[in-house]
Amino acid sequence: MRLYLVAACAILAVISAANAADECSGCSKEPQFPEAQSLLESHGYSRSEYSVLMSWSERTHDGSDRFVTGFHVKGPDGATFDLYSDGDDRVFSKEDVKALGIREKKWDLPPVEKFGEAPPAVARLLPEKPVPTGVSKSIEPRGGAVLPEIDWARVSREDAESESLGKPTRIGVLLDLAAPAVVLGDNVSTGEWSPVDGGGSLWSIEILSPDALGMRVHFSEIELPLGARVVVYNGYDANEAYGPYFGPPPGETDLWSATVFTELVVVECFVPASADRNAVRLTIDRATHNYVPFGKLAMAKGAGACELDVSCYSSWASTSAGVGGIGSVGQSGSLWCTGSLLADTDSSTTIPYFLTANHCVGSQSSASSIEVYWLYQTSSCNGSAPNPSSVPRTTGGAQLLATTNVNSGTDFVLLRLNNNASSGASYLGWASAEAGIGTPTVCIHHPSGDYKRISFGDITNVAESLLDSHPRSRFHQSTWRVNLGVTEPGSSGSPLFIESTQQVIGQLWGGPSYCGVPASGRLDYYGRFDVSFPLIEQYLDPDTTISGGIEVTRPEAGISWAKGRERKIKWTSTGNIGAKVRIDLYQGGAFVMNLKGQTNNDGRWKWAIPLSLSPAANYFVRVSSVADDTIFDNSDNFEIRN
């Protein structure tokens, strides 16, 4: 039985349910992992009587986009219960937890399994590339910046230290512009606005980082009027272009562009004649300088000769299409890891849930920067590796849903990609039952950031120096078979499969293995999926019985919104109304237009109000469940004005 401590308990310092519901004002914008025993002891739970079995961080569901920290605690009588904190010094009551939309964890769930879902065809399908306005209209960039020189001796020392500590592999460093490139309407710090034939205006600059193999541009501010767009492209080959970008990812205030494989990046902002140029707000303050080519990451010197090309194992072709390489931006620069696209048990949806390691993507700011490279693999057994810029890529970041670190849990993070996975990607199956000692295993990964490889092993429990810190209760130890592959830097976060069923049972933390390691070190540690599952069960195994209600909370009665502006529509839901909602606009009871066919039921959606709408004070918005359109709510009447 799950126990919660109520507000009347004298030993707890709690915040009121009203405060908790007020957008979780005390919660953090990032996952927090305070020293668990010390926090509990400060609230009266002595170390001698209470032990923390696991701690984690998860996103609230009250519309605040904040995180709470959970603790699974064992008491002196052997009973277990869960406590939740704001990550600092407050512990929430049962009422607070409910107000925050945190679901009760089911630690005694019966085993659940899901088999993989293959794509219709495994093909390298690339998204349509934007055509830069400056290229199509023959307008050259009118300003720019050269990034500073890099202290390579320092970079080498940092990379060596990072590898020794088991941190994710770095492929690029962060460089600040000498002075940020700022656009505040007509006021620009570099470059200038140029008229565009056919209407509108264009601002563009070049950013050069000599000898960079790839660059990502950081917009610390990006706010555009309706119809305006930002595109980044290769200054030497405009066919490599990314965007268009219209603003930051959901819930964020900044934006990282996709990687452009060049030393010279052009950034352009186009504003149509119908938009107000003075509403443009852009600040570019830094960029990454990627210095390691894929497949030749620092310290690893390329994937080892003992690694096996996944394309040589045709029975794993469909499953391998669900494994992707991850590029992200952390405090030290551009990072590289591996992850996997997971299926859920609701056959009516294809939500892009993505599993990797917490030490690869441990914060929402890092999650917002990720890009996933799909199908970065040879087209035939031991064939040539493709150019990374030629494979499908999902950009736009992700929403961090739940995570644990290596010290307090299983070193996992579950993300929901903000954009869809490539149409050639598979959704992978998984199993929440414990995999026993001796279970044959497989890992598919990107060793050293190279093209995809495969390794074969077995679950073991061999005494080894890392075993105490990665106990069997939270981690699988996989020992690799002789001459059948290992893992390397860049493989972190990659999935561990049951060989016979091709179901995910964990994600890679790391270990001592590498090509040429003695037999005693030919093993790695994977956070156990079955231990993590109660924390992500609500996403991967949703209750498909649709019931509950919706309440539209914005727009409010009497509010006035101007045409051509962006405004947020907000709602709350109770029960299980499904993963998606539909949003429609009505006037005086008559249907006007569909605003969004389906969007995530996360409580908010940004609406760019069309200029074509007629001014009136009797509009309302309807939000309805996609799974059951009899579940809906109408907003109060509001005004749309010129």
pLDDT by residue (tens digit) across 260-278? 999 999 999 999 999 999 9
CA–centroid distance for 413 within its chain: 9
Share of the chain above pLDDT 90, in %: 57
Q: Count CA atoms closer than 13 A to 155's CA, side-chain side.
A: 20
- Between 175 and 386, residue with greater pLDDT: 175
Q: What's the CA gap between 417 and 388, in Å, rounded? A: 20
∠ CA 190-246-197, rounded to 5°:
65
CA–centroid distance for 313 within its chain: 29
Q: Is the pLDDT of residue 360 over 80?
A: yes
- Which residue in 72, 359, 445, 476 is the catalytic one? 359
Q: Is the pLDDT of residue 627 over 80?
A: no
Task: Classify residue 553 as exposed, middle or buried by CB count within 10 Å of its CB (0-12, 13-18, 19+).
Answer: middle
Q: Is the pLDDT of residue 8 over 70?
A: no
Tell the CATH superfamily of the 547-641 domain. Immunoglobulins (2.60.40.10)
Nearest to 143 by CA among 108, 94, 105, 178: 178
Residue 611 carries which DSSP code? T
Nearest to 97 by CA among 134, 57, 61, 63: 61
Whether 359 is a known active-site residue: answer yes
Paired with 393 in beta bridges are 373
- Which residue in 426, 492, 624, 625 is the catalytic one? 492
Mean pLDDT across the chain, nearest whole number? 86
**17: which 2 tokens?**
């349910």
Could you read off the pLDDT of 193-229 as tens digits, one per residue? 999 999 999 999 999 999 999 999 999 999 999 889 9
Could you read off the pLDDT of 555-605 as tens digits, one per residue? 999 999 999 999 999 999 998 887 788 899 998 877 888 898 778 888 999
Whether 636 is a known active-site residue: answer no
pLDDT at 354: 97
Domain boundaries of the chain, sorted by first residue = 17-99, 139-152+171-290, 308-540, 547-641
Q: Hey, what CATH class is 17-99 in?
A: alpha beta
Confidence of residue 155 (pLDDT cuts 50, 70, 90): confident
**Domain 308-540 CATH (choose: 2.40.30.20, 2.60.120.460, 2.40.10.120, 2.40.440.10):** 2.40.10.120
Q: Is the pLDDT of residue 165 over 60?
A: yes
Q: Which amino acid is at 62?
A: D
- Between 436 and 111, residue with greater pLDDT: 436
Largest CA distance in the chain: 78
- Which residue in 96, 411, 584, 602 is the catalytic one? 411
Contact 476, 433 (CB under 8 A): no
pLDDT at 10: 25
| Second CATH level (architecture) for the domain 139-152+171-290 | Sandwich (2.60)
Q: What's the CA gap between 557 and 600, in Å, rounded? A: 25
Three-state secondary-structure class, residue 122:
coil
Q: Which of 112-126, 180-194, 411-425 comes out lowest in average pLDDT?
A: 112-126
Whether 492 is a known active-site residue: answer yes
